[in-house]
Amino acid sequence: MEEDKKRLLILFGSQTGNAVDAAERIGREAERRGYPCSVLSMDEFDASDLAIEESVIFVVSTTGQGENPDSMKLLWRFLLQRNLGNQWLQSLHYAVFGLGDSSYQKYNFASKKLDKRLLDLGANPIVERCLGDDQHPSGYEAALDPWLSSLWSALNQVNPRVFPSVMGSIDAAEKTLDLPKFQILYHDIGGMKLPSDTSSDCKYLEMQIGRARSMSPGKFGHNKNMPNCFLQMTKNQLLTSVDSGRDVRHFEFESVSSAFKYQVGEVLEILPSQDPVAVEAFIRRSDGLIDHGYSFNFQFQNQMKLSRLTWLHLQLIHVEPNGKKSGFVYSLGNASRIPIKLRTFMETTMDVASASPRRYFFEARMSYAQNLNIRNGLLENGFDDHVMSFFAKAEHEKERLEYFASPEGRDDLYQYNQKERRTVLEVLEDFPSVEMPFEWLVQLVPPLRTRAFSISSSPSAHPNQVHLTVSVVSWTTPYKRKRSGLCSTWLAGLDPRKSVNIPAWFNQGMLPPPSPSLPLILIGPGTGCAPFRGIVAERAEQSASGPTAPIIFFFGCRNEDDFLYRDFWLSHTQTGGVLSEENGGGFFVAFSRTQLQKVYVQHKMEEESQRIWSLLSAGAAVYVAGSSTKMPADVLSCFGKIISKESGVPKESALRWLSMLEKAGKYHVEAWS
């Protein structure tokens, strides 16, 4: 085997960033043990090279109802090729760690499928696969910690020369542990013409967002850098009653940049704007930690009569992987180092006020002395400094941070951080003596991710428009702290009369656009009705030019106050409508709170079991959308009962029939938490 393949390769498939965090943690622990290793996203790795790797750790999240994360799809498609053979990976030693949520029906399904396929291809497991559960009081890390202990012991048995049981080279450890992974290049703006504020120009905005996100360590992927278009909100309508206790909005948008195309069933991803007050507070908290550019041209700053904060707003930076210590760039002639404003980088890539910081904020770091002791067999555990505690000046803060980083403090850290959803800004405010350099903040602050919403419009019925149906998210933490969703709250606060450019991406969803001849059974309680509003509107347009197949739709809500798009659905049940009985369709609503006995969509489905079975027998497809908690599993179980009852087969046979329906691409679920 080539020398550069004698390494521990860690491949992650992530949707929201948790698998990235877990993979990077495994990589850091490998480095501390002197293991040569690489950490890559699955879509950055050539799957055909898997057969020449010796040891690979797969870290895989499951998204939706048992779906592979986007970054895993190419590798998975390659592994499913029939010509690979059952000995193709006979030289590979592997381990799988899955991240999932046991409240979902297909818990950790992606990691289970991957483990089975690797075995089928002849790969050799280093240790048994491990399944992390977000429902555990300590999250997925409760399973990861003991699994890693077993992994390191087992790797030594696989190849003691490459994976020794004691630490390796001190020099290697020094290089990887003493510096952050990214460096900030501060551009001297003294004597330069300061960039004008052209934030209303879409081309300028597109360039700034694309440049910032391509610099970011957040691993957005090339397709998430440049927005597909910029949208302008034209309608912000409250759908629920003021007294309902819920805030569900109907938003309409038009493009203010390039034209857009989409199909029903697709999703719209939006990059939200962060609260400017929070961004300002984060910049103020960072003042003194970003002192290279500020201190470099103090005379110019005085000449321009700029405050420290204004100077930070104007500061131009470039972020790149660390090869040396941070410094200045005196010339802007290098196109690969075109800078952007520091504030723009923060606003578009660093989630400072909605996401909880990664565990690495609190995690133990290895000191030079301990590295030496472990190498000499004098010490096995216990790290004496930590990322935050290393930069803490107050002793009581240092002690608390060290406790959070210890095994004993893991549960308390989970309660303090993830359960309470403390933001990076709040954590830094809780520990005011921590003076973490900006390079570390860039590495450790969670990336600002786009938020995805099911499109609730039809490109045929609503030309040059895209509609969303959004529940404005709010909740109370275990310690009674009020929280709200970043993107939904921001959208709800926009005034359509004011011009705000919204960066947006169109992407394929979990619900493929149905052909006009395909009968449909739709189940969408609450905001799950969103994609079906687009599908029904599209089918209505199609019916104007030819025959179309029937649609029956089961909608659920608490009462009339939550009856989303009531007039729209009822209009399509009228004579000639696509939901009308004369066309074989139907619309059925379940009010769960208007009577003593709660009624859900599955109860209405059972009442219409003959009609459902008739459509299924005629080749209908099932589309389910809505909350990911119990609803998808309850609906699937209800279908099993209906098939068993109407066809006269045992329930086990009915469930197998449903499984075949899913494999045939006729049972689709789009669910969200």
Task: Give 582-624 pLDDT, tens digit per residue.
Answer: 999 999 999 998 888 889 999 999 999 999 999 999 999 999 9
What's the angle, vertex CA 431, arms to CA 426 and CA 434, rounded to 5? 115
Q: Is the pLDDT of residue 189 over 50?
A: yes
For residue 142, what pLDDT is reported? 85
| CB 59, CB 11: distance < 8 Å | yes
For residue 176, what pLDDT is reported? 38
The CA distance from 225 to 230, in Å, is: 13
pLDDT band at 98 (very low <50, low <70, confident <90, very high): very high
Q: How many helices (H) and strands (E) does the chain have?
A: 24, 25
Tell me where in the chain the CATH 3.40.50.80 domain(s) lie: 520-672
The CA distance from 247 to 644, in Å, is: 39
Model confidence over 41-68: pLDDT tens digits? 998 899 999 999 999 999 999 887 778 8
Tell me where in the chain the CATH 3.40.50.360 domain(s) lie: 3-165
pLDDT band at 172 (very low <50, low <70, confident <90, very high): very low
Fold classification of 520-672 (topology level): Rossmann fold (3.40.50)
Q: Is the pLDDT of residue 289 over 70?
A: no
For residue 647, what pLDDT is reported? 95
- List the one residue out of 32, 81, 78, 29 whose CA is nearest residue 57: 29
DSSP 269: E
The domain covering 3-165 belongs, at the CATH homologous superfamily level, to Flavodoxin domain (3.40.50.360)
Model confidence over 201-260: pLDDT tens digits? 788 888 888 888 888 876 665 566 778 899 999 999 999 998 888 999 999 999 998 888
Is residue 223 exposed (0-12), middle (13-18) or buried (19+ Cβ within 10 Å)?
exposed
Q: Which residues pair with 591 in a beta bridge?
A: 557
The CA distance from 372 to 549, in Å, is: 73
